[in-house]
Amino acid sequence: MLEDTYKLKGLREKLVKTLQQKGIRDTQVLEAIRTVPRHFFVDDLLAEESYKDQALPIGSAQTISQPLTVARQTELLQVKSGMKVLEIGTGSGYQCAILCALGAKVFTVERHIPLYQKAQVTLTRLGYKPRMKGGDGSLGWETWAPNERIIITAGDRTSQKRIYSN
């Protein structure tokens, strides 16, 4: 894993300014983006690229969401410290880390086990302690229900059919 160098911190600050220019106003969301090192959630070779407003590959034919998407979704959730948030689609763990940085109690499910395992290691290394589960999140996570917020950051046609079928 890379270090969080001054250069990468500077790129992260530049990303925060880009997000502000694109309409993100929630100061707590911007501070979380400023605090969480996005480059820890991608391949080391993509460290500098991780601070551009773009999605990047993370393995298992998945991507880490574009920072604007993460910021906008988080802003819309209106998360307050202590809120229970269910996240469907852990992916790299970046969105989860942002929610944790805001003080949310995060319960996250990822169906791609290699991504789940890698996210678990990264989140633990950064000191975040969400409840995590590898498996199908299309039906939520009943053990920890109810939740005050739910964010669905990923899904496929199979999951959508399961969620919306009669």
- Listed in order, strand segments (DSSP E) in 14-118 are 56-59, 62-64, 84-88, 105-110
Closest CA to 58 of 148, 118, 143, 140: 118
DSSP 54: S
Q: How far apart are CA 13 and CA 35, in angstroms?
A: 9
Tokens representing 35 are 């605090």
pTM value is 0.92
How confident is the prediction along the chain (166 residues), in pLDDT tens digits per residue?
569 999 999 999 999 999 999 999 999 999 999 999 999 999 999 999 999 999 999 999 999 999 999 999 999 999 999 999 999 999 999 999 999 999 999 999 999 999 999 999 999 999 999 999 999 998 889 999 999 999 998 765 544 444 433 3
Q: Which residues are known to be catalytic? A: 65
Tokens representing 159 are 């999951």
- Give the three-class secondary structure for 130: coil
- Give the three-class secondary structure for 77: helix
Choosing among 3.20.20.70, 3.30.1330.60, 2.60.40.1170, 3.40.50.150, the CATH entry for 6-164 is 3.40.50.150
- Give the three-class secondary structure for 118: helix
Q: How far apart are CA 51 and CA 67, in angstroms?
A: 8
Closest CA to 95 of 48, 4, 32, 138: 32
Question: What is the identity of the amino acid at 31?
Answer: E
In this prediction, residue 73 carries a pLDDT of 97
- Listed in order, strand segments (DSSP E) in 17-124 are 56-59, 62-64, 84-88, 105-110
